[in-house]
Chain A
């Protein structure tokens, strides 16, 4: 089944404790992206990757890191989490970044992160 998976789905942690949220897709997509969703602010893009070893900042990259060593995986790293990073996180992928037919984004189920 074609899908985007994220782990963990729920995480409660404390300020300053490094964590990684994994994202994996099995569709051989070039483009992957991370979003965070907060009440009243909608979905905001954190980082995206157009292919292996190619990453770029989205709208709210501060406090986050990503890597894209393999096509299927795009982990989100919080080196020193803070309470303002408490949010619902979504990973997404699409064949390429170009618009048009066949390039819709597929989203993962989400990771709810709480930083105390």
Chain B
């Protein structure tokens, strides 16, 4: 599985967009980009994933660069409840490849 790098921490003002970057320069063609978040010490929660195209769901948008070496998770209108650790994971679709969680980005949404 490709390795990812994320900033250790970020702040965002409540109501503004939170843009969380992730570098995955060694990603291979069959690997998806997944985002999870963990609020305090709860179980990680799935947010979104993508392969090549930008994706949007009710929680967030995922922008993947054309060369697929980096991506950005966008929370369009951050709330205090979005304060969490956000994990970017790349994982292939081949059977047998596990999720590998790095340290993630600690996002603090400030009032």
What is the interface of chain A, defined by CB distance below 8 A to chain B?
4, 33, 35, 37, 40, 42-45, 48, 58, 88, 90, 92, 96-101, 104-110, 112
Q: Which interface class (under 10, 10 to 19, 20 to 34, 35 or more) fits B? A: 20 to 34
Asked if A90 meets B44 with Cβ closer than 8 Å, knowing A42-B104, A101-B49, the reply is yes
* Contact of B92 with A99 in the complex, beta carbons under 8 Å: yes
* Contact of B102 with A42 in the complex, beta carbons under 8 Å: yes
Q: Chain A residues near B95 (CB, 8 Å)? A: 96-98
* Contact of B44 with A97 in the complex, beta carbons under 8 Å: no
* Contact of A99 with B42 in the complex, beta carbons under 8 Å: no
* Contact of B43 with A99 in the complex, beta carbons under 8 Å: no
Given the complex of chains A and B, what is the CA–CA distance between A92 and B43 in angstroms? 9
Q: Tell yes or no: B29 within 8 A of A by CB.
A: no
Given the complex of chains A and B, what is the CA–CA distance between A98 and B32 in angstroms? 11
* Contact of B44 with A107 in the complex, beta carbons under 8 Å: yes
Asked if A107 meets B98 with Cβ closer than 8 Å, knowing A99-B31, A99-B32, A99-B92, the reply is no
Q: Tell yes or no: B111 within 8 A of A by CB.
A: no
* Contact of B41 with A104 in the complex, beta carbons under 8 Å: no
Given the complex of chains A and B, what is the CA–CA distance between A109 and B100 in angstroms? 19
Q: Chain B residues near A42 (CB, 8 Å)? A: 101-104
